């Protein structure tokens, strides 16, 4: 049995360790993750992350703490919606971790675009 104190407790988005964040950045740039930020402007994110449309937000979640919503592409349903995958599950990233991830994504994208190549071909 739960008490009212337990049900009113805020949902805290777990913070990512550096290794987890590195893995996220690699998976993001390698196309293994779909985020809220991939959803085109004007499209409803709840059509991608169905759990949001079905009231699946954790009770006590502070929306101001959410940096992004994401899921791994291999968790997508068998059909697409307007060319976008749809998921019946999702993960939340803390806004401070998302800020760190964006900085790392930009740096890693730049690094990948400038990989030195052997001029001899």
Instruction: Kindly report the number of other CB atoms within 10 A of residue 84's CB atom.
Output: 16
CA distances from 24 to 16, 29, 35, 93, 116 (A): 10, 9, 11, 10, 24
Q: With beta carbons less than 8 A apart as the criterion, state whether 88 and 114 touch.
A: no
pLDDT tens series, the chain, 121 aa: 444 445 567 889 999 999 999 999 999 999 999 999 999 999 999 999 998 888 878 888 998 999 999 999 999 999 888 889 999 999 999 999 999 999 999 999 999 999 888 888 6
**Tokens at residue 116, please?**
């030195």
Q: Do the beta carbons of residue 104 and residue 25 sit within 8 Å?
A: yes
For the chain, helix, strand, coil in percent to 5 are: 40, 20, 40
Question: Whose CA is closest to 24, among 121, 102, 89, 117?
Answer: 102
Distances (CA, A) of 85 to 2, 46, 54: 36, 11, 17
For the whole model, what pTM was predicted? 0.84
């Amino acid at each position: 049995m739960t008490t009212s104190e337990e049900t009113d407790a805020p949902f805290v988005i777990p913070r990512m360790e550096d290794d987890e964040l590195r893995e996220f950045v690699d998976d993001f740039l390698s196309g293994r993750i779909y985020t809220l930020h991939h959803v085109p402007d004007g499209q409803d994110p709840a059509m991608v992350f169905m759990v949001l449309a079905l009231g699946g937000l954790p009770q006590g979640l502070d929306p101001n703490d959410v940096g992004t919503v994401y899921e791994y592409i291999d968790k997508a349903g068998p059909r697409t919606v307007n060319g976008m995958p749809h998921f019946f599950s999702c993960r939340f990233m803390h806004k401070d971790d998302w800020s760190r991830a964006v900085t790392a994504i930009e740096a890693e994208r730049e690094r990948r675009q400038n990989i030195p190549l052997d001029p001899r071909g």
